[in-house]
Structure formats: structure tokens, C-alpha cells
Amino acid sequence: MAVMSARYALVQLMVLLCVAAKAQGVGLGELLERAAQTSEYIHSLSSALTNELDSHFPPSGRMLMPRPSLCHTSSLNMPTDKEDILKLPEWKLVSLVRSLLLSWSDPLLLLSSEAPSLPHPSSGAIHSRTRELQENTHSLHSGLDTLVNKLGPLSQSLNLLPFTWKGGDLGTDRNSRLLNFHFLLSCFRRDSHKIDSFLKVLRCRAAKMRPDVC
């Protein structure tokens, strides 16, 4: 019931975001507040899902985990230091967030399709949460499209990062499937943290808060 209630609340939140974007009286700050709330939920959900996998992930598998630099979004040039993030203009932050969200469209689809047959005792719950990640990420991207007109044409620029997975699935043996699923999910959790951080900086600026508290 709690999961369903949270999902319903988020759907309602994104509907309100889209409706509000069309209204003349709604400011940028309110739109960013709603987007930041959604991104925070997405990151929280991806972290909880990763922890669920960790509980049944063999210790030997962690030694075989691909390096984070092999995540398909690693080639996207983006700041990691807070001071560098604060130096970026608003249009650049929105462009980076939209690029990341769009680049995760296919990987999240793969995770969602593979989750039901994942060799894990909680595969049903993992599938439900993965679907929720997919749906909310898509909704957040659609909602952010409404900000483009407010931030100018530069924010429309996108750096799309193609995703390819050899064989089209996560593997045939138990260890490979768990390893590859865990790796992709870990990459998404890392990127969802970046998305959440960028949106909170934007929200902070819109509220005219001091940079040191962003």
C-alpha cells in the first residue's frame, strides 16, 4: 500500500507539474521545487533497490564488478566537484539533466524487462521498483521539457549517449545476470545522484538562496 501511495503521489506531482507549466502565474521556482522532489525520490528508490540486491549478492561478484568508468554515461563531461557545479549556468545544468535522463531510457527498459526472471528471492519486488524507476524517470524528463521555454534555447541542447548491450540481455548464467543487473543499477544510482544534485542547485538559485547552502 505504501508503494502504491507513493507512486500515486508522484504521478499526481508530475501531472501538476505539466499543468502548472502551462499556467501563466506559475514561476520557475515552483516548477524546480517539484522536479527536485521527484529526483530525490528517484535517487532514494534506486539506492534502496541497490541495497536490496546487495543483500543477496555474492561477495565474489563484487570483485568482478566492472569499473564505474565503464558506465555508458561516463563519457558525458560533467562536473563532480560542488564548486564546479555551482559555476555552471542554468541552461547547462538543465541540458545535463535532460541528457542523463534520456540516455537512461533504454537501459531502464532492459532492467525492467530482465527483473522478473532475475535469480533473486525478491525478483518480484525488484521488478516493481525497477518499473517505478522507469516510469518516474520518463515523467521527470517530460516535466523538465516544460522548463526549456523558460530558460532559453541553449537548454534545448542534448548530448545523447547511445546504450548497447552485447547479446541484448544480461546473460544466461545466474552470476552473470546478477552481476550485470547490479552493475547497470549502480550506474543509474550514481547518475540519479548527479541529476538530484543539479536540480537542487537550480532550485536553490530560483529561490535566490546563498550558493554556500545550495
**Digit-coded pLDDT (tens) for 63-109:** 666 777 788 888 888 887 888 888 888 888 888 999 899 899 999 99
Query: Quick one: average pLDDT of 167-173?
Result: 69
pLDDT, residue 64, reads 66
What DSSP state is assigned to residue 159? Answer: -
Nearest to 66 by CA among 150, 155, 157, 165: 165
The angle subtended at Cα 32 by Cα 39 and Cα 161, nearest 5°, is 55
Average pLDDT, the chain: 78
What letters, b where the CB count within 10 A reaches 16 and e where it falls short, cover 158-196? ebebebeeeeeebbeeeeebbbbbbbbbbbbbbbbebbb
Domains and CATH numbers, the chain: 2-213 (1.20.1250.10)
What integer is the mean pLDDT of 171-175?
76
d(CA 146, CA 162) in angstroms, rounded, equals: 24
More confident residue, 66 or 61: 66
